[in-house]
Each structure stands twice: as C-alpha cells, then as structure tokens.
Amino acid sequence: MTPPQSPAETPPGGALRRAAPALLGYAAVRALGLVTLAVWSAVNGRSAHRLLSGRWDSLWYTRVADLGYGYEVRLPNGDVHSNLAFFPLLPWLERTVHAVSPLSYADAGLLVSAVASLAAAWGIFAVADHVHGGRVGVWAALVWAVLPVGIVQSMAYSESLFTALAAWSLYAVLTGRWLTAGLLAAFAGLTRPVGVAVVAALWVAAVTAFVGEHRHGGSTPRTDGARPWRRALAMIIAPLGAAGYVLWVGHRTGRGPFGYLDVQAGWRNGFDGGYAFGRFVAEKFTSFPSALAGAALILGVVLVLLLYVTGVRQGQPPALLVYTGIVVALALCASSYFGSKPRLLLPAFPLLFPLARALARSRPSRSALVIGLVAVASAVYGAFWLNGSGPP
C-alpha cells in the first residue's frame, strides 16, 4: 500500500483538493451562521447586513478607508478614542476593493473578510495537516468555524484577515519557506497589534534552526532546505509592518515610540498582566446571578490553559507554541474590553488542535454529529449576540 503524500510533497494542483473537505465544511458552517443571523434579525426588525458591516470596529475601519487617519471621538470623561488605534491593512484593502468595484467601503470589508476567512480556514488546515495529518486538519478548520464567536469571522473585522496571514506565515515557517513567512508576518503586523506573535514565532524558529546548524558544525543537512541568509532576511522583514506603523503613529503624534501606547491609553487599553481582568472576574461573585458568569469565565480561562498545555504535551512545534502563548497572553492580560476576549482569542487556532485530534480519533459519524450540534448552537448564539450587545 502506497503511503499518503505529506503536505510538502503534495503537487500545487492537489493542495486545494486536499483541503477541499475542510473548506467545504467551513463554508457550510459559516453559511448556517449567516442564514440564522438573517432570520433572527428579520424577526427582530433589524438588518443583518448592518450588524455585520456597520457597527463597532467595522465603522472605525471604514472611516479609515474613506477619510484616512485623524478621526477621533472625545468622551465626556475625557477619554480620546482615536482611529490611529486601528492598524491599516484592512482599510487599505477596503479602499482598494472600493476603487475597483461598485462596492461601498463597508461591503468591501465584508468581501475581504469572506475571502480572508476561507484563506484562514485553509491555512489552519495546512498547519494542522503538516503537524498532525489531514484528518486533524479538516477537524481543526471545522472547530475554528463553530467557535461561539465564529460569527466575527464573517464581519468586516480584522480577525479573519489576521488569522489567514498568521496561519500561512506559520505554515511557511514550518515548511522552510522563510521569505514567504517573513512577508506574511510583515503583513500580519500591519493588521493587528498581536502581529508581534507571528514575528516572535518566526524569530524563535529561525534562531533554533541557526543554533542547530551551528551545534553540528554545519555538517548536518538542513531539514528545511533553506540557506541561512534567507532565514536572516526573513527575520529582518517580519517586524517591518508592525514597527513601521507604530513608528509612523509616534511621528504623527509627536510621541516617538510611545505614541501608539498613548493612543491605546485613550481607549483605556493596555497590558497589565491580567490584573484588571482578574478584578473584573472577582467582582462577578458579589451576587448569585453574576457569580454564574464569573464561574463561566474562570472555566473558560482554565480550558484555554489546559488546551495550551495539551498542545505542549502533544509536541506542537515551538513556533506554534510561541505564537499561541503570545496571542493568549495579550488577549487575557489586556486591561480593558473584557467582553472582547473571546474574539481576541480567535487567532489562537493551535489551541484547537487537541480537540481536532480527539475528533479525528473518534468515529466519523460521532464527530460529525458533535460538530453539527455545536454549529447550530454557535449559529444561534452568534445571531443572539449580534442582535444584543455584540462585540465591543
């Protein structure tokens, strides 16, 4: 019996066929979520289109696409919400799509998000396929699709775009395509502040490869087939996106390297090691109804940490562990917007690999039933969520 081809050996034309089950399943889950949202919104006399494209962060991105940077809102308490907090790649893409099509900026954002979400699902499949095999890759993409806040993947937000860039950059790192990895990491750094996680993952993988070669005196064949200068160049390219934007904001605000931190402070957002979030959770236990929410938050954090530890035990590559660890740390230790934390964890897709492995080991019919039931629950929750408070 001929063994299956590894992802690296798969011909270019076969890569899409290999990922097709993951992409079709992902598209079906997202379609279910959108249909459920449309029906729920219609019953409540609201527009699903507006909920997806014209509220919260979506408005900030479209304003950047339309008017550029410089818009800010001064709140009665003195806080200043500046659109400099929003990284530029998504609004640049919205502006480009608007320029070459009849789509509005908002609809351009929805199109970018739709394409990016499919690219993200494919990237998640590719990484999981490379590390654990094709069956795990399919289930990983599906688990990402059915997350309770999965509806955000279809909004004009930057989560899908960032996850796509991060996943494919990590895949390029794992397969030794260093220049591709560096370029994608740079674009990820232009998408969200958490792009530093992709840069760190690339640096760790590159340094590990350099150390391994030096330890063997250069006599050991390079497993990634890469020349050292490619890794070195990738390490230089990777941080250019995030560093370039942060320095530009510093120049614009006149605060140098601290300008972006000042902008985030205006949103009362920063990194405090989780103190504010811990206090927020503790305050939930002051009454019985809210104590249930507090207990759920604690269970959620424990689950995230357990999945991370399981990934370590299952031998995930260091690049994935570094990336996931930084995404989780930045999400859980931010000092504000506590309701956004599930959304901020969306890019931490390697956390889902232990669940995908469990589904791959189970009977296909049982795993399909589990994913189907969770998909329905996720679709209902997403519709309820967006018709209520929604993502901050």
**Over the stretch 360-391, which tens digit does the pLDDT of each residue have?**
999 999 999 999 999 999 999 999 999 998 87
pLDDT of 22 > 70? The answer is yes
Bridge partners, 74 (sequence order): 80
The pLDDT value given to residue 309: 98
The pLDDT value given to residue 78: 86
Q: Give mean pLDDT, residues 210-239.
A: 76
Among candidates 245, 225, 310, 213, which has minimal Cα distance to 84? 245
What are the tens digits of pLDDT across the range 292-317?
A: 988 999 999 999 999 999 999 999 99
Among candidates 328, 343, 84, which has minimal Cα distance to 200? 328
Specify the 3-state DSSP secondary structure of 47: coil
What are the tens digits of pLDDT across the range 131-177?
A: 999 999 999 999 999 999 999 999 999 999 999 999 999 999 999 99
What are the tens digits of pLDDT across the range 268-283?
A: 888 888 888 899 889 8
The pLDDT value given to residue 336: 77
pLDDT of 3 > 70? The answer is no
Among candidates 214, 207, 202, 193, which has minimal Cα distance to 267? 193
The pLDDT value given to residue 257: 84
Instruction: Give a three-class secondary structure readout of 76-123.
Output: CCCCEEEHHHCCCHHHHHHHHHHHHCCCCHHHHHHHHHHHHHHHHHHH
The pLDDT value given to residue 224: 57
- Sequence-ordered list of residues with C-beta below 8 angstroms from that of 212, at least 6 positions apart, any chain: 220
What are the tens digits of pLDDT across the range 237-270?
A: 999 999 999 999 999 999 888 899 999 999 988 8
Q: Give mean pLDDT, residues 112-137.
A: 98
- Mean of pLDDT over the chain: 92
Taking the C-alpha atoms of residue 96 and residue 163, their distance in angstroms, rounded to an integer, is: 20
pTM here is: 0.94
Residue where the block lists tokens 């967006």? 386
What are the tens digits of pLDDT across the range 51-81?
A: 999 889 999 999 999 999 999 999 998 899 9
Residue where the block lists tokens 């990402």? 144
Among candidates 329, 343, 352, 327, which has minimal Cα distance to 277? 329
pLDDT of 2 > 80? The answer is no
Taking the C-alpha atoms of residue 154 and residue 77, their distance in angstroms, rounded to an integer, is: 33
The pLDDT value given to residue 390: 80
Among candidates 367, 343, 1, 359, which has minimal Cα distance to 151? 343
Bridge partners, 334 (sequence order): 271
